[in-house]
Every structure is written in structure tokens, then in C-alpha cells.
Amino acid sequence: MKILVVGGGGREHAIVTALSKSKRVDKLYCVPGNAGIEELAECAPIGVMEFDKIAMYALEKQVDMVVVGPDDPLVAGLVDVLETAGLKVFGPDKKAAILEGSKAFSKDLMKKYNIPTAKYEVFEDSVKAVEFLNECSFPIVLKADGLALGKGVLICKDYDEAVAGIHEIMDDKKFGSAGNKMVIEEFMTGREVSVLSFTDGKTIKIMTSAQDHKRAKDNDEGLNTGGMGTFSPSPFYTKEVDEFCHKYIYQATVDAMRSEDREFKGIIFFGLMITKDGPKVLEYNARFGDPEAQVVITRMKNDIVDVFEACIDGHLENIDLQFEDNAAVCVILASDGYPVAYEKGKEIRGLENFKGKDGYYCFHAGSKKVDDKIVTNGGRVLGITAIGSDLKEARKNAYAACEWVDFDNKYMRHDIGKAIDEA
């Protein structure tokens, strides 16, 4: 088969790596890709929002399947454009991707179908939102309705902060049109766990659990980022939690989407908070997480093409989804200064150290080939991922491998997976 992957981050490098191991794949393409992906797939400089160009490229290369990685093109309807062009696509269409694209939609869905989540209200007007604060206790959570690069959530400790936050989102449009509507939500405490799943619209199969570290600095200090590292499985995702989520969350979400005539095919990512009253949904995403994909896909036993195909064709019930009984840790090597201001174009040295090392992966996120050198080209540069027999070993391996590569202004957190010690 010939397969095209859309995207150019660490998540897509992990997807392309898994596809490259499939016996069913003859040739891989990726748009736009990056310097790491280029070693496995033919890349073309087409942006993920250039829908017509992507469709033309896929038709020209006569690909048998397209896999869409990032949220923006999914929410904006890339799958619909490709399907209309007669292509077979892995990922939700626009009607279904609203599960991630609108927080107001997803909260209303959960309320209507009794899926556990935090109490909330939706507002389209900042005056009404501010008035509502009189009924709230603090801290309180403000969320821009639309996509905001993972930054549209504000946790406000008191009334004054919340008023300022509402103005930022709805009046100053800090997150653009994502702030035309907003959700005000009860603050929950507990452990966060990410659970990714495959669904064909009817059947849902759960992948192994993972956990992200979103803050830029050690001990969860500093600004929110796209994710500074992940580990899998999460020791906080117990059998009890799993049973609860199967009973009240997973299938209920898939069925709710079908009842709304928004059949969801692809990946549903459940952001869960394990509260003292049981697990509740923090958010849904309509794709693999980045960098959750790096620690989940690397532990998957199945041929990923079989799973993608079963989701598209509607026979996921026949797939026995299996994961290795081991663990993985991914540490992001970033450019110092991320997520605010940082320099790019620094030469990355030592990439060859990963060649032939089983259980070690150097997933590229922001990298670019310039002449015969590979240089940094983003805030998150590499996702150094290692397998171990358990989380402690995986963490030790990942941090050791972080020393195999180097570039000027290299920055990482040193406590990825440290919570494991407290489990």
C-alpha cells in the first residue's frame, strides 16, 4: 500500500515510524514532514491547511490511504475534502471533529448523555459571563470554545482574575475567534490521565494510558506548552478507573456522537481527571496527542495499518488491540525559551547515535535539513523516547538517550515521569 500522512511533528514521526514497520506498506508520503520523517517517507512542502493541494498530491501519488495527524485540519474539514476526492482517509470528518473543535459542543454532549464531567455554563456574551461569576466559587476554569493551540484554558484563583480572563478571551480575542463563545467550568482536583482510543463509529477500543507534562519547567512550574514529555502506562489508571470509564464514558461518547448524527471514526483522546468522586472528562481531542502518540504507538503490538483500516471500514470489533507489557517515556528536547521566544537554526549533533538501538527513538518535531546538516526549526525539537521493562527503567533509558544528542540552547525538563515514584 501507499500511504500519505498529513502533519510534520513528533506525533507524525511516530505514526510514520509505525507505518514503516508494517508489512503492508510499500511507500510512504508525508506533508509537510520534517527532517526525521524524510528518512522514512517522501515529503512535500505542502501545509496542513492547504486542502486542495493535499488532495491533488494524494491523487497524483495514487495513495491507498491518508492519515491526518493534527487537530486544525481535522476540525476545518480536511477529511471531507479528501473523501469527496475519492480517497480513503483515517480521521473524523468535520461534523465529528467538532468533539474537539468546540468545547461548548462537547460539554453539552456530555450533559445530554450523562457522561461525567465538571459542572459548567456556556456564554456568548462577556457581560453575562461576568455576572455569572457572582454565583461561582474559586478557583474557576475559563475555556475559549474553539481551538487555541492548547492555550485557551485559564485557571483563575479569584474573582478579579476571572473578570480579566473573560475580557481577554471574549473582548480582546486573545485566542482569536476561538473566544466567540466560552465555557466557565468548575475547578476539579485529582490526577490527570490521557486515554486514547480507536473507534469506527460503533465499536471503541482503548489504547494503553499515558500522561502528559504540559508546563515548561520542572515541578509543573512555568507556562503551559504543547507538552514537555509523556509516560505510558499511567500507574493512576487502575483497573477500577478503567471499569468505570468503560461503563460511563467510552462507549457512551461513541454512542452519543452517533445519536447526534455525527458518527466519529478515528481517534478519540479522553483527557480524564480522576477526582474523589470518580473519573470525569476534562476534554476530548479528535486525534493522537503529541507527545502521547510517541509513548503509546511505540508500545502497540498490532500492525497499525490493520487498525486504521478497520476504523475506516467499520470492522474494528474484529481487531484484538494489544500493547506490550512494558513502559515508555518521552522527554522533549526543546529550544531554550520555548514557549515564548527562542532561536532556531542550531545544528543538531549526534542523531546517528540512535541508529540500530532497539527500544530507543528520536522523534523529530521541529527540525529541518539545510545542506547536509539537520538544524532546529521550532520550540519543541526532538522527542527522545525509550522503552523499559517498567516506568523507572524507561525513564532512566530516556534520560540517558537525551545525552546522545546535542544542540546549542537545548532545554528539557528533568522530572518527566517523576510522579511514578509517588504511585
Partner interacting with residue 153 (select from ligand AMP, ligand GLY, none; CB below 5-8 Å by kind): ligand AMP
The residue assigned the cell 520534517 is 34
For ligand GLY, the binding residue among 69, 146, 235, 289 (CB under 6 A) is 289
> Alpha helix locations (H) across 226-359?
239-245, 251-259, 292-296, 304-313
Q: What is the dihedral angle through the alpha carbons of 97, 101, 103, 108, rounded to the nearest 10 degrees? A: -40
Least distance to ligand AMP, CB of residue 102, Å: 12
Q: Does 100 bind ligand GLY (CB under 6 A)?
A: no
Is the backbone peptide bond immediately before 45 cis, with ω within 30 degrees of 0? no
Closest residue (Cβ) to ligand GLY?
289
Told to check if 9 binds ligand GLY by CB under 6 A, we report no
The item of ligand GLY, ligand AMP, none sharing an interface with residue 282, based on CB under 5 to 8 Å by kind, is ligand AMP
Q: Which three cell numbers stand for residue 215?
A: 508546563
Q: Which is nearer to ligand AMP, 134 or 189 (CB)?
A: 189
Residue 212 as a binder of ligand GLY (CB under 6 A): the answer is yes
**Which lies closer to ligand GLY via its Cβ, residue 76 or residue 136?**
76
For ligand AMP, give the closer residue by CB, 33 or 291.
291
Q: Is 150 in the site for ligand GLY (CB under 6 A)?
A: yes
Nearer to ligand GLY, 57 or 284 (CB): 284
Burial letters for 142-170: b for 16+ Cβ neighbours within 10 Å, e otherwise? bbbbbbbebbbbbbbeeeebbeebbebbb
Sort 77 into a burial class: Cβ within 10 Å, 0-12 / 13-18 / 19+.
middle
Rounded to the nearest whole angstrom, what is the least distance from the CB of residue 405 to ligand AMP in the complex? Answer: 28
Distance of closest approach, residue 130 Cβ to ligand GLY, in angstroms: 29
Q: How many residues does the chain have?
A: 423
Q: CA nearest 290: which of 267, 257, 272, 310?
A: 267
Question: Any bridge partners for residue 328, and if so which?
Answer: 232, 387
Distances (CA, A) of 95 to 257, 284, 286, 289, 314: 10, 15, 11, 20, 18
CA distance 381 to 399: 16
Q: Residue 153 or residue 420: which is nearer to ligand AMP going by CB?
A: 153
Site residues (vs ligand AMP, CB under 6 A) = 118, 141, 153, 155, 185-188, 192, 271, 282-283
In the complex with ligand AMP, the residue whose CB is nearer, 44 or 155, is: 155
Closest distance to ligand GLY from the beta carbon of 184 (Å) = 21
Binder of residue 381, out of ligand AMP, ligand GLY, none (CB less than 5 to 8 A by kind): none
Q: Site for ligand GLY (CB under 6 A): how many residues?
A: 7
Nearer to ligand GLY, 81 or 297 (CB): 297
| C-alpha atoms less than 13 angstroms from C-alpha of 314 in its C-beta half-sphere | 4
Q: Which residue from 73, 179, 227, 339 is in contact with ligand GLY, where contact means CB under 6 A? A: 227
Q: Could you tell which of ligand GLY, ligand AMP, none binds residue 376, using a CB distance below 5 to 8 A set by kind?
A: none
Looking at the Cβ atoms of 152 and 166, the one nearer to ligand GLY is 152
Q: Which of these ranges, 16-24, 169-177, 286-294, 307-315, lies near ligand GLY under the rule CB under 6 A?
A: 286-294
Tell me the CA end-to-end span of the chain in Å, nearest whole number: 43
Minimum CB separation of residue 289 from ligand GLY in Å reads 3
Q: Which string of b and e fits 223-242 if b means at least 16 CB within 10 Å?
A: ebbbbbbbbbbbbbbeeebe
CA–CA dist 79, 140 (Å, integer):
36
Q: Which is nearer to ligand AMP, 36 or 291 (CB)?
A: 291
Considering CB distances under 5 to 8 angstroms, the limit depending on partner class, which of ligand AMP, ligand GLY, none binds residue 184? none
100 Cα distance to chain centroid: 11
* Nearest by Cα to 77 from 103, 95, 59: 95
**Residue 188 contacts which entry, ligand GLY, ligand AMP, none (Cβ below 5-8 A, type-dependent):** ligand AMP
**Integer Cα distance of 81 and 93 in angstroms:** 9
Cis peptide before 279 (omega within 30 of 0): no
Interaction between residue 290 and ligand GLY (CB under 6 A): yes
Which residues sit at the interface with ligand GLY, rule CB under 6 A? 150, 212, 227, 285, 289-290, 292
